[in-house]
Structure 1
């Protein structure tokens, strides 16, 4: 590589890093400032760094409850979606229907994701009202699971198609049932796909705001995005606390991504090279 090309590459990578990291730096530094520094002094970095904003969130704004709700609802809904979504995707990938309809089922299941959420917001609200599930974990879990299952089926179908059928047939010849072959052979081989699907589902569910806004009203069920919105008042906005909430809210996603990073990369590239 010529020196000029190397320099250009370094400059481009540096520019990309600045674009990506600048908002993160700004959020973290703002979370360590006072509201006076943010709105009046307009400092580029905190002159007197303080964790008071984080303490304020948990001591006065019930942010611990919001974060607990988000983690519980996200974890349960994604887990249930992966279980049923994997079974559905495996069935579509292995069993054939007339006229090749099995190849169109995955796309048909995405119809729920294609429809704008605001269109079905009122029907879902009325359904939860009739079931007396407003402002509950179960109401949110059922809603998010309904959205995530379709995505999981669509994602996992392609991963199961990449697994040779011969492996499962050999296991069934040795005495395994279809379900045992799925559990012992297909599912472990599709683990990278499960990781890739899980992280996308976690990100979407953890950050969801519209349905949390409509279906929750008290801290006992409010999720982190919904709870963070309470920091916006009619007269002013607590920017320092909102930045601290953003930092805390981002940590679970970052930790989860680091934990499944190896499987995520394999999952995203699975099937790309024959």
Structure 2
């Protein structure tokens, strides 16, 4: 009887896990299968589950509608933003974690609240500034704007990682004649790499997926992939196949990046959970 009672909750947990996985995976399944359907098949009701797949939507989206160019734009913007956020954010996080100086609490509060500001509030001011400076439809405009939102993420996460590193290591290295920069680079940074990896993943995903600023501040040259996907939704004849094909192409790099950094992601998110 005890074995039966133990086995019953186990099967219940497995069933619940299967339901959760199905709910999470089904939208991706629907997106990918729709991208492989012709326009006629995609509009059929009830939905067609068995069909002959076609890559026509991908071919048209990539080479005829210019989605390939927007994917390259998104990749360049996301990589540059993430790199700048790490280059600027990691030293700032080290300073906030290791030094005491006047205005430190105010500076920390400013970094945190800067990330909490709703982007829609800043959309019009950013647009007016970019227009007056002649920076509309420029890659650098999106990079700088995304940096304002990604930099607080990096500082927030990495500062907490640096704070978890014992000060005794700094003092021992200082006795050996190591400079403060050497201590950060050779001792603290390797120990804080899980947090750096997590912040890099978050920064890349935000920059890659961001839609609003990409839609408002770009036209053709710097248009991002999410903005391109939305541009298909015009008029009454929606090309569902091309929209889903573009969406699939947008998701693939994020999945690859997350899989490559999954080990560091799990370590960074769980560090400090168990002492």
Paired residue for 1:80, among 84, 91, 101? 84
For 2:30, the equivalent position in structure 1 comes to 26
For 1:71, the equivalent position in structure 2 comes to 75
Q: Which runs of 5+ in 2 are unaligned?
A: none
The two structures have a TM-score, normalised by structure 2, of 0.94
Task: Tell me the distance in 2 between the aligned counterparts of 1:106 and 1:180.
Answer: 24
1:82·1:198 contact (CA, 8 Å) conserved in 2? yes
Residues 6-30 of structure 1, C-alpha deviations (whole Å, 9 max, x = no match): 2111111111111111111111110
1:29·1:46 contact (CA, 8 Å) conserved in 2? no
Counterparts of residues 27-46 of structure 1 (less than 5 Å): 27-46=31-50
Give the Å deviation of 1:58.
Answer: 1.2
Aligned residues: 271
Q: Which runs of 5+ in 1 are unaligned?
A: none
Asked if 1:197 is matched to 2:187, the reply is no
Asked if 1:120 is matched to 2:122, the reply is yes
2:194·2:267 contact (CA, 8 Å) conserved in 1? yes
Give the Å deviation of 1:181.
Answer: 0.9
Task: Tell me the distance in 2 between the aligned counterparts of 1:230 and 1:249.
Answer: 14
For 1:221, the equivalent position in structure 2 comes to 222
Residues 72-115 of structure 1, C-alpha deviations (whole Å, 9 max, x = no match): 000000110011111111111111135xx635643331222222
- Match of 1:159, SS state, is helix
2:85·2:151 contact (CA, 8 Å) conserved in 1? yes
For 1:273, the equivalent position in structure 2 comes to 274
Give the Å deviation of 1:158.
Answer: 0.6
Task: Tell me the distance in 1 between the aligned counterparts of 2:256 and 2:41.
Answer: 30
Give the Å deviation of 1:131.
Answer: 2.5
Task: Tell me the distance in 2 between the aligned counterparts of 1:188 and 1:3.
Answer: 44
Residues 114-146 of structure 1, C-alpha deviations (whole Å, 9 max, x = no match): 221111111111222232211011111111111
Give the Å deviation of 1:263.
Answer: 0.6
Give the Å deviation of 1:165.
Answer: 1.5
Aligned residues: CA RMSD? 1.5
Paired residue for 1:62, among 60, 66, 88? 66
- Match of 1:132, SS state, is coil
1:107·1:154 contact (CA, 8 Å) conserved in 2? no
Paired residue for 1:97, among 90, 101, 120? 101
For 2:136, the equivalent position in structure 1 comes to 134
- Match of 1:168, SS state, is helix
Give the Å deviation of 1:40.
Answer: 2.6
| Higher mean displacement: 105-114 or 242-251 | 105-114
The two structures have a TM-score, normalised by structure 1, of 0.94
